[in-house]
Structures are given as C-alpha cells and as structure tokens.
DNA sequence: ATACTAATGGCACCCAGTGCCGAATGGAAG
DNA sequence: CTTCCATTCGGCACTGGGTGCCATTAGTAT
C-alpha cells in the first residue's frame, strides 16, 4: 500500500531497490480532479482515471484504497501538522482558546491555493458519496482534537467532554466551510472566527 | 417505490388495487438486523437478506434504496415528529433552550426498546460503511434544526448561525450516544443533558 | 549473467445497485 | 366466469467499485 509511503517519488537517500513506482499519489489525485471537473465525480470511472494516468486499473488501487480517497491527498500529514501545532501551544492558554486557534490555523490556506482548495471542498461536501466518506476522515480529525482536550483536562480522550468538544469544533468548521463555498468572495478564516464567536455568545446565555 | 409508501400493509381506507406487497419495510429491517447480529454487517449480503425474507434480490431494492438504509427504519417520520415538537414550543422560550429540549425529546426512548435501539446504534456508529452513510441521514436532521433556528432568528436556514448551531447539536448528540454505547448502564437523556451543560459552561469562559 | 526486490497489471471473482420486461396476483367491470 | 387493468414480483443482464492471485517487468546488488 503506497498510500502510506512517505517517499513516493524516491528522493530520499535510500538507494531505491526494485522497480520504481510509475506514478505518485499526487499525480493520480491531480489527474482525477481534472476529470471530475470535466465529467463529474459519478460519471468518471476508476478505469477512466487509470487510463488517463497511464496505469492499470489494478495498480490504481495500490495508490488509493478507494475512489473516494482521491480528493483527500495526504490527510494524515495534515493531521500530524495539527497535532504538532497543538503540542506547541502554551499550557496556560485556556483550552477553548487553544482549540479554536488550532482549528483556525489548520484551515489557513495560502491565497494562491484558494481556488484549488475551493474546488476540492466543493467536491467533498457536494457529492453525496464523498460527503459520506468524509465522515471517516473527520473521525481522525476529531480524534486529534479530543486527544489534546483529554490531555489538557486530565480525562480519557474517549470521555464525554473531549468528544463533545471535538464534535462541536468539527461542526463549526464545516458550517464555516459551507458558507465559504456559497459566498465566492468570503474569507475562510473570518468565517471560522465568526462562527466560533457566535457559539460562545449563544451558549453564554 | 414502497419506501415512501405510508401504508405498506394496506390498512388505509383505499380499497387497494393490484397485487399486494408481499412484505414490509419493517419486516425486512427486522430480518436483516437479525442476520447482522449473527454474521455481521459486511458478511451479510443483500441476497442473504432477500432469501431469509422469502423475496427476490431485485424486490429487496424496491423496499430499500440501499443495504445501508436497513437499520434506519422510517427516519423521515421521526424527523416529522421533531419538526412538529419544535413548532409546538412557545416563542418566548430562548432558542437554545428550545433546541436543547427538542434534542432531548427526540432521543427519548421507551425503556422496553432500549436494548433494541442500542443494537441499532451500535451498528450505525460502529460499522464504517454505515457510519459514513449516516452522514446523509444526519444532514436531514440538521436541516430540521437549522430551519427552526433560522425562523427564530429571522435569517435564512442556510446561513452561518443556524447551520453552526445544528452542527453543534448533532455533535453533542452523537458524543452522548458514543458514551451511551460504551457504558451499558448509562441513561441517554442524562448523558445528553450533561453534554449540553458542559458545552454551555465551557463556552461561557 | 544471476539473484533478489518491488511495482505492475491482467484475470477472475464478489457484491451493490439499476434498467428492462415478462409473469404473477389481485380487484373491478362486463 | 371472463376480461381488463393496476400493481408488484423477480429473473436476467449489465455497470462499477474493490480484492486475491500470480506471472511479468524493471530495477539494484554480487
């Protein structure tokens, strides 16, 4: 499963042994997203993608576990980034502030990548099959938040408080994303901050 | 599509015309849940279920749009119930209190149905394929909450506030469910109240 | 050249889901 | 009882995602 291979293109020092991979996850992802934009997700078969990338259908499934994983790229790496960011926050920062900061930071995207990311998210949240599949990815995201919260609160990550907090954060982030997709000119960071602020005000009744 | 037929067994006044359905959604659902409990969801094929129910594979798909829908029963009817309950709440009840009350009411289950419901939810939240599919069902649930909140706030249901609120409520409910599934003796209503209280306290920092 | 390693991709297979269409089952009209 | 009609049933063939198996290919090391 090259899906979890950290060195897909083979730049690392290791002299490389055996036949080299003929493509990369990123390459496949790119090819696929292009096809999706042209014909739509459902009308693009795995065979189409494999053909467009010049590999066999069977080989495709060695790079991605499923067609649904294509738009996600290397999500695990991003999660590691968030974990790292959370660990670097000072302990005297209130838990909520820390988590909010992490959510905002996690979703900060460089201006030049905005159109690209928009298209990706429009797919993920707009295509039912992808939206459904995304739940499994978001579960991993929630785990990151819950583990941090659990550590800070001195309770198991699986207990109610961390879990509820993680779910809430996911909800806030996704509703901000929905707004972002609808309003072409909106700024994601501002939407996130606004949504977080709203929640605080509404609950502090 | 008998899936949205309100009178599956034919008790309504209409004299019935043409051949009568040979089974019902509820019957199929029951048969399937039994098989799932025995062999597990993934190891039970639609053909198995159809055979156990004494119908053809093709006919199965006239009662349920997908294998994933089996554990859900008539979710739409329950949503109607929640809509109705929300509409009946007094207008001077603060929005948050109203929504919290509705969430708790929606998830109140008669004691005799607890074991059954536990098994259903254990499936829905434990089997990846079902968890993914559930996102689509929860979307409808969120819409109910968001529409009420939008009406109360005088803004479109699709705007940030109602959406964020609906997401948050879903998150709270699901984290309470997770606890409920882990702790055999826990009371769902208490868990929900506890989770909602927690959120209020944490955000009122 | 040989041996070893790793990726490729064809083939057959399973399963979910769908379109098509004739057969079965009922009530109502003659 | 027969005819007509509405509705469901279910077989058949097909698409498309995903997997196990295994021979083939393309590299490195000796």
* B48 closest-nt by C1' vs CA: C15
Residues 43..82 of B with a Cβ closer than 8 Å to A: which? Answer: none
Domain boundary among B45, B70, B95: B70
Residue B59 and residue B94 share a domain:
no
Q: CB-based contact (8 Å) between A174 and chain B?
A: yes
Split into its structural domains, chain A has a count of 2
Question: Got the DSSP string for chain B?
Answer: -GGG-S-SS--SSS---SSPPSS-HHHHHHHHHHHHHHH-STT--HHHHHHHHTS-HHHHHHH-SSGGGGGG-SHHHHHHHHHHHHHTS-TTS-HHHHHHHHHHHHT---GGGHHHHHHHHHHHHHSHHHHHHHHHHHHHHHHHHHHHHHHHHTS-TTSHHHHHHHHHHHHHHHHHHHHHHHSTT--HHHHHHHHHHHHHHHH--
Residue B112 and residue B14 share a domain:
no
Sign of CA dihedral B128, B134, B135, B136: positive
Domain boundary among B37, B70, B103: B70
CA-nearest of B101, B115, B134 to B181 is B115
Residues of chain B contacting residue A170, judged by C-beta atoms under 8 Å apart: 167, 171
Residue A192 and residue A125 share a domain:
yes
Q: CB-based contact (8 Å) between A188 and chain B?
A: no
Say if residue B5's pLDDT is above 90: no
Weakly modelled stretches of chain A, pLDDT under 70: 1-15, 204-205
Domain boundary among B70, B91, B123: B70
Q: CB-based contact (8 Å) between B184 and chain A?
A: no
Residue B65 and residue B143 share a domain:
no
How close B42 gets to chain A, by Cα (Å)?
17
CA-nearest of B73, B72, B46, B67 to B57 is B46
Residue B34 and residue B8 share a domain:
yes
Supply the pLDDT for residue B73: 84
Residue B170 and residue B117 share a domain:
yes
Residue B117 and residue B56 share a domain:
no
Please report, for the domain that includes residue A139, its CATH number: 1.10.357.10
Gap from A27 CA to C15 C1', in Å? 30
Supply the pLDDT for residue A117: 93
Q: Show the CA angle centred on residue B201, arms to residues B199 and B204, nearest 5°.
A: 105
- What is the domain extent for residue A113? 74-203
Task: Tell me if B167 and A175 make a contact (CB, 8 A cut-off).
Answer: yes
Supply the pLDDT for residue A15: 66
Residue A78 and residue A65 share a domain:
no
pLDDT tens digits for B110-121? 999 999 999 999
Supply the pLDDT for residue B199: 82
Task: Tell me if B167 and A179 make a contact (CB, 8 A cut-off).
Answer: no
Average pLDDT value over all residues in chain B: 91
* A74 compared with B27, residue with greater pLDDT: B27
Name the band, by pLDDT with cuts 50, 70 and 90, for residue B58. Answer: very high
Q: CB-based contact (8 Å) between A126 and chain B?
A: no
Please report, for the domain that includes residue A16, its CATH number: 1.10.10.60
Supply the pLDDT for residue B15: 63
Say if residue B23's pLDDT is above 50: yes
CA of A143: how far to CAs of A77, A146, A195, B150, in Å? 14, 5, 21, 31
What is the number of CB-based contacts under 8 A between chain A and chain B?
114
Residue A91 and residue A67 share a domain:
no
Supply the pLDDT for residue B198: 86
Using a pLDDT cut of 70, give the percent of chain B over it.
Answer: 92
Supply the pLDDT for residue B4: 40
Say if residue B146's pLDDT is above 80: yes
Residue B97 and residue B84 share a domain:
yes
Residue B160 and residue B91 share a domain:
yes
Residue A135 and residue A64 share a domain:
no
The whole-number average pLDDT for the span B166-181 is 95
Q: Which nucleotides of C are covered by protein (CB under 7 A)?
A: 4-12, 14-20, 24-28
């Amino acid at each position: 499963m090259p899906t979890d291979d950290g060195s897909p293109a083979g730049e690392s020092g290791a002299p490389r042994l055996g036949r080299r991979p003929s493509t990369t996850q990123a390459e496949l992802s790119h090819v696929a997203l292009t096809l999706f934009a042209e014909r739509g997700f459902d009308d693009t078969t795995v065979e189409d993608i494999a053909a467009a990338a010049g590999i066999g259908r069977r080989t495709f499934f060695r790079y991605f576990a499923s067609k649904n994983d294509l738009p996600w790229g290397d999500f695990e790496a991003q999660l590691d980034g968030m974990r790292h960011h959370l660990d670097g926050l000072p302990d005297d920062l209130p838990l909520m502030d820390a988590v909010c900061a992490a959510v905002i930071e996690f979703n900060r995207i460089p201006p030049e990548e905005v159109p690209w990311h928009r298209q990706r998210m429009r797919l993920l949240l707009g295509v039912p099959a992808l939206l459904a599949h995304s739940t499994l990815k978001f579960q991993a995201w929630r785990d990151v938040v819950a583990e941090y919260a659990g550590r800070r609160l001195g309770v198991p990550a699986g207990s109610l408080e961390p879990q509820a907090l993680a779910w809430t954060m996911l909800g806030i982030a996704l509703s901000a994303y929905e707004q972002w997709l609808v309003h072409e000119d909106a700024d994601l960071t501002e939407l996130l901050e606004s949504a977080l602020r709203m929640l605080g005000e509404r609950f502090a009744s």
